[in-house]
Structure 1
Amino acid sequence: MAEIIVLTGPVAPLPGSDRTSGIDKHPVTGPVSLGPEGFAGDEQADRRVHGGPEKAVHHYPRDHYPVWRAELGPLPLLDAPGAFGENISTQGLTEAGVAVGDIFRLGTALLQVSQGRQPCWKLSFRFGINDMARRVQDSGRTGWYYRVLQPGTVAPGDRLVLIDRVAPEWTLHRLWHALYVDRMNLTELQGIAALDVLAEGWRRHAQRRVETGRVEDWSRRLEPEPPA
Structure 2
Amino acid sequence: MAVIAQIRQIRIGQPEHFARGQKSAINKQPVCGKTAVTPTGLAGDGVGDPRFHGGADKAVHVYALHHYDAWRRELPDAANMRAGGFGENFCIEGADENSVCIGDEWQIGTARFAVSQGRQPCWKLNERFSVADMSLRVQQSLRCGWYLRVLAAGEVEAGGDVRLLARPFPEWSVARVLALIARGCCAADEMREVLRLPLPESWANLFARRLETGVCEDWDRRLFGG
- Give % identity: 42
Which residue number in structure 2 is paired with residue 19 of structure 1? 22
CA deviation vs aligned residue, 1:152-195 (integer Å, no higher than 9, x gap)? 11122211111110111111111112222151222111111121
Which residue number in structure 2 is paired with residue 47 of structure 1? 50
Aligned mates of 1:138, 1:56 — CA distance in 2: 24
Q: 5+ residue gaps in structure 2?
A: none
Aligned mates of 2:127, 2:133 — CA distance in 1: 9
CA deviation vs aligned residue, 1:37-82 (integer Å, no higher than 9, x gap)? 110111101000011100000001012111101100154622x310
Aligned with 1:70: secondary structure?
helix
Which residue number in structure 2 is paired with residue 121 of structure 1? 123
Aligned mates of 1:69, 1:198 — CA distance in 2: 32
Query: Which of 6, 14, 19 does residue 10 from structure 2 map onto?
Result: 6
What CA RMSD, in Å, does the superposition of the two structures yield over aligned residues? 1.4
Aligned mates of 2:181, 2:6 — CA distance in 1: 30
Determine which structure has the larger strand proportion and give its number: 2
Which residue number in structure 2 is paired with residue 149 of structure 1? 151
Aligned with 1:77: secondary structure?
coil
Which residue number in structure 2 is paired with residue 208 of structure 1? 209
Runs of 4+ in 1 over 4 A off after TM superposition: none
Aligned mates of 1:27, 1:94 — CA distance in 2: 20
Q: Does the 8 Å contact 2:187/2:214 carry over to 1? A: no
Which residue number in structure 2 is paired with residue 194 of structure 1? 196
Q: Does the 8 Å contact 1:113/1:147 carry over to 2? A: yes
Q: 5+ residue gaps in structure 1?
A: none
Give the CA deviation at 1:17.
5.4
Which residue number in structure 2 is paired with residue 222 of structure 1? 223
Give the paired residue count.
222
Give the CA deviation at 1:218.
2.6
